[in-house]
Amino acid sequence: MSLPARTVDVLVVGAGQAGLGTARRLVDAGVPDVLVLEAAEVGASWTGRWAGLRLFTPRRFSTLPGLPFPPGPGESPTRLEMAAYLRRYADVLDVPVVTGTPVTGLTRAGTGFRAATPAGEVTARQVVVATGPHRRPRVPAAAADLAPDVVALHSSAYREPADLPDGPVLVVGGGNSAAQLALELAATRPVTVAAPGVPRALPTHVLGISLYRWLLVTGVLNAGSGTPVGRLVRRRDEAVFGRDLPRAVRAGRVRLVPHRVVGAAGRAVTLADGSVLPVHAVLWCTGFLPDTGWLEIPGALGPGGEPVHRRGASPVPGLHWMGLPWQTRVNSGLVDGVDRDARRTAGRIRRALDGAVGRRDLGGPPPHRLGRQTRWPDPATSTPPSSPCPSPRWPTRP
């Protein structure tokens, strides 16, 4: 674990899709001196999720710019395929990505920042925080009132059915994780789902075309968070991709109680309608919170530790967020939505660096026209550019 540089123009914290996509767009914008620090390994969030997880986004919509998703069995990738894709992306990105190096503290240093890591300090003129919105399990307070012999796990700690004891399981939540895990568990035991309402299940395909594609072409996924469409989508509960859950409920393989869990006592939970459900094991699919405890900069976080930002720009000059749900659009928190926000963030950073020192002092070429270069050239038909700017290492064909 060694740091290639102690002072950089831009430090990107986190090597998930948001961090790597931003690093790519910084390269395109001609920012020469970028460093990505990653606490674990590239794509760690995906390897850390449950074994049977398949993305709900089809392969072609699970990509970052310039590197198509390799073909494979099934329309959507598995979590391991996604992690491998991100590792490949980091390999062909001409930016140092240092793994196993968590940023444990970020403070101001003059007009820039000082990041503390176990391998030493890095100073940076601009910082992009791309550490992911799904870091800390969000579990209802009632969970603490369950008896110690009730096995209760958050979805982030669940890997496979054997993690739960034989016998009935209560799955709490109405989103995609709850739906996928309820179906997985229903193959071997009785499952009840307690969701805040009847989950809104969408078909995966309409007229033979993936729903994700329909939502893209109709502009729903790219709708701005503040537009009428964006506000409407945000007001509604998370939609579940696929109709397998309602089918299983109709077939009696899964029991659905459309009420929130509001309390717990011993071996039972209380639902919002006042009914009481005995429980043997509970799987909380109740979402996540970001982990921002290491950010020690006044004004960067709200009272609950939530990022303060406008379209990803922090009120703290030089600090930027990436990968936040609803950052600018409906799909900002999805793989496919990274690039639009990354281009915006890279442009903002390039302008800030230009304004601070003058373009020539950066030593890089003039910025590319962002938005035009949305794809890396096909390595089979093009030659690497001769420009002195850091360029992608060209992916070889498998």
Ligand X SMILES: Cc1cc2nc3c(=O)[nH]c(=O)nc-3n(C[C@H](O)[C@H](O)[C@H](O)COP(=O)(O)OP(=O)(O)OC[C@H]3O[C@@H](n4cnc5c(N)ncnc54)[C@H](O)[C@@H]3O)c2cc1C
- The answer to whether residue 17 forms part of the interface with ligand X (CB under 6 A) is yes
| 191 alpha carbon, distance to own chain's centre | 28
Which amino acid makes up residue 208? Answer: G
Cβ closest to ligand X, residue 39 vs residue 319: 39
Count of residues binding ligand X (CB under 6 A)?
A: 31
Cβ closest to ligand X, residue 33 vs residue 339: 339
Which amino acid makes up residue 314? Answer: S
For residue 179, the tally of other CB atoms under 10 A from its CB is 28
Cβ closest to ligand X, residue 133 vs residue 364: 133
The answer to whether the beta carbons of residues 279 and 269 sit under 8 Å apart is: yes
Give the whole-angstrom CA distance, residue 367 versus residue 346.
Answer: 10
Write down the least CB distance from residue 325 to ligand X, Å: 8
Cβ closest to ligand X, residue 87 vs residue 259: 87
Cβ closest to ligand X, residue 74 vs residue 167: 74
Question: Looking at the DSSP assignment, which residues form a beta bridge with residue 137?
Answer: 288
Structure tokens at 366: 């003039």
Q: Which residue, among 147, 200, 151, 148, has the nearest Cα to 171 in the 3D structure?
A: 151
The answer to whether the beta carbons of residues 374 and 97 sit under 8 Å apart is: no
Cβ closest to ligand X, residue 279 vs residue 330: 330
- The answer to whether residue 335 forms part of the interface with ligand X (CB under 6 A) is yes
Q: Which of 56, 69, 89, 376 touches ligand X (CB under 6 A)?
A: 56
Give me the 108-147 binding string for ligand X, x by CB under 6 A, dash otherwise: ----------------------xxx-x-------------
DSSP string, 341-377: HHHHHHHHHHHHHHHHH-GGGG-SPPPP-TTT--SPP
Contacts of 221 (CB under 8 A, 6+ apart): 212, 215, 329, 330, 331, 334, 336, 337
Q: Which of 11, 23, 34, 44 touches ligand X (CB under 6 A)?
A: 44
| 373 alpha carbon, distance to own chain's centre | 24
The answer to whether the beta carbons of residues 271 and 208 sit under 8 Å apart is: no
Residue facing ligand X at closest CB distance? 16
Q: Which residue, among 49, 120, 39, has the nearest Cα to 83 in the 3D structure?
A: 49
DSSP string, 161-206: GGGS-SS-EEEE-SSHHHHHHHHHHHTTS-EEEE-SSS--EEPSEE
Q: Which of 12, 29, 31, 49 touches ligand X (CB under 6 A)?
A: 49
Cβ closest to ligand X, residue 14 vs residue 112: 14
- The answer to whether residue 295 forms part of the interface with ligand X (CB under 6 A) is no
Q: Which of 334, 352, 353, 362 touches ligand X (CB under 6 A)?
A: 334
Write down the least CB distance from residue 277 to ligand X, Å: 24
Chain position carrying tokens 């991709």: 241
Write down the least CB distance from residue 224 to ligand X, Å: 18
- The answer to whether residue 103 forms part of the interface with ligand X (CB under 6 A) is yes
Per CB under 6 A, the segment of 35-43, 245-253, 268-276, 385-393 that binds ligand X is 35-43
- The answer to whether residue 240 forms part of the interface with ligand X (CB under 6 A) is no
Write down the least CB distance from residue 22 to ligand X, Å: 9
Cβ closest to ligand X, residue 129 vs residue 277: 129
Contacts of 352 (CB under 8 A, 6+ apart): 126, 317, 318
Cβ closest to ligand X, residue 24 vs residue 134: 134
**Interface residue list for ligand X (CB under 6 A):** 13-19, 37-40, 44-45, 49, 55-57, 62, 102-103, 130-132, 134, 177, 294, 323, 333-336
